[in-house]
Structure 1
Amino acid sequence: MRILQVVGYKNSGKTTLTSQLINYFTNKGLKVASLKHHGHGGKPKLADGTDSEKHRASGSLLAGVDGGGVFQLTMSTDSISFDQLVAFYQVLSVDLLVVEGYKSLDFDKIIMIKEEKDLSLLEQVSNVQAVITSIPIEENNLAHPIFYNSDRQKFFEWMESFILS
């Protein structure tokens, strides 16, 4: 199972991109699942309109959200590690697990940059594969490709070769 993280600060477009990735690779025939870290404190909401519901509606085989000690499948996560959560997805023979959040983990990452102050994230996380941004970034300083929000098609073409290679 391939794991891809989408990270960024609040309201940077993580959920939108995650949903688009789920939809894109589901349409390519992959079994795609998602796991969202609930970074807002407390337990995740279990209602319509939540981010994990958006993931499910986009085609995710298994849509989960973890935060505040609760994994949204009514399974308590008080004593479950991230690796154990991933193992849960592996049981379903998932091809691609798209993880939204969990910045400190070391999987392949796509970073969302919305504002100049978000650039500090590039120095805080590991295993960055690409950046999607709304602002101009000096490309000479980065070792990974930069894509602009205005040209998602270019990003998805790159992403397909990255995931399917």
Structure 2
Amino acid sequence: MKVYGITGWKNSGKTGLVERLVTEFVSRGLTVSTVKHAHHVTDIDQPGRDSHRHRMAGATEVVLSTPLRWALMHELRGAEEPSMEELLAKLSPVDLVLVEGYKREAHPKIEAHRRATGRPLLQPEDPAIRAVASDTALEGLPVPLFHLDDTRGIADFILRDLGY
């Protein structure tokens, strides 16, 4: 599986870009999965649901299966968060995995950047960032610059960078 990341500060446009890229790659016939890293505690389950009750009772893993999808929830229960590589190994094979977040990992990435965040670019400090997608013109970048909404151009760049 090929892996490519979308990184950037909070509210920089990462999720929207990932969403558009998934749609673009799927329309080109690729199979795509995503990995999203969140720094905050979040729960994908709902209190009162059977699966939530199983987890709260102490189950380490709960598989929820429906006619449309299945999900595996794994409780860390104090164990260390798995690495990105460990999580990638759990995925079924696909052509491309898009990773949102994991800004400190060494996989190839595009940085999403919005001027309104007021945050500096990550690119100067991260050699794994191969391009920047921004809503504003940025001068003197040592990597390609795309408009944040240029989904097709960004997708073309990612595929070329991965050797497709």
Question: TM-score, structure 2 length as denominator?
Answer: 0.72
Task: Using the TM superposition, give the Cα deviation of residue 33 of structure 1 relative to its aligned residue in structure 2, in angstroms.
Answer: 0.3
Query: Which residue of 1 is the match for residue 24 of structure 2?
Result: 24
Task: Using the TM superposition, give the Cα deviation of residue 151 of structure 1 relative to its aligned residue in structure 2, in angstroms.
Answer: 3.8
| 2:116 aligned with 1:125 | no
Which structure has the larger Rg? 2
Task: Using the TM superposition, give the Cα deviation of residue 35 of structure 1 relative to its aligned residue in structure 2, in angstroms.
Answer: 0.5
Structure 2 counterparts to residues 78-97 of structure 1, below 5 A: 78-79=79-80, 80-89=82-91, 92-97=92-97
Report the Cα distance in structure 2 between the residues aligned to 1:28 and 1:37, rounded to whole angstroms: 26
SS at match of 1:74: strand
Structure 1 residue runs of 5 or longer lacking an equivalent are 48-71
SS at match of 2:158: helix
Report the Cα distance in structure 1 between the residues aligned to 2:10 and 2:37, rounded to whole angstroms: 12
Task: Using the TM superposition, give the Cα deviation of residue 45 of structure 1 relative to its aligned residue in structure 2, in angstroms.
Answer: 3.8
Query: Which residue of 2 is the match for residue 146 of structure 1?
Result: 145
Task: Using the TM superposition, give the Cα deviation of residue 125 of structure 1 relative to its aligned residue in structure 2, in angstroms.
Answer: 2.6
Confirm or deny: 8 A CA contact 2:20 2:151 kept in the other structure: no
Confirm or deny: 8 A CA contact 2:4 2:158 kept in the other structure: no
Backbone CA RMSD of aligned residues: 2.2
Name whichever structure is richer in helix by fraction. Answer: 1
How many residues are aligned here? Answer: 136
Task: Using the TM superposition, give the Cα deviation of residue 137 of structure 1 relative to its aligned residue in structure 2, in angstroms.
Answer: 0.3
Q: Note closer, same or farther for the CA distance 1:112–1:42 as it changes in structure 2 (3 Å cut).
A: same
Q: Note closer, same or farther for the CA distance 1:120–1:158 as it changes in structure 2 (3 Å cut).
A: closer
Partner deviation per Cα, 1:57-78 (whole Å, 9 max, x = no partner): xxxxxxxxxxxxxxx7312343
Amino acid paired to 1:145: P
Once the two structures are overlaid, the 10-residue window that deviates more, 120-129 or 6-15, is: 120-129
Structure 2 residue runs of 5 or longer lacking an equivalent are 47-70
Report the Cα distance in structure 1 between the residues aligned to 2:149 and 2:32, rounded to whole angstroms: 25
Amino acid paired to 2:27: N
Task: Using the TM superposition, give the Cα deviation of residue 150 of structure 1 relative to its aligned residue in structure 2, in angstroms.
Answer: 4.9
Structure 2 counterparts to residues 93-108 of structure 1, below 5 A: 93-108=93-108
Partner deviation per Cα, 1:24-56 (whole Å, 9 max, x = no partner): 1112121110000012x2134447xxxxxxxxx
Question: TM-score, structure 1 length as denominator?
Answer: 0.71
Q: Note closer, same or farther for the CA distance 1:96–1:43 as it changes in structure 2 (3 Å cut).
A: same
Amino acid paired to 2:157: W
Q: Note closer, same or farther for the CA distance 1:25–1:151 as it changes in structure 2 (3 Å cut).
A: closer
Task: Using the TM superposition, give the Cα deviation of residue 155 of structure 1 relative to its aligned residue in structure 2, in angstroms.
Answer: 2.8
Partner deviation per Cα, 1:82-115 (whole Å, 9 max, x = no partner): 22111011xx211111000010000110101101
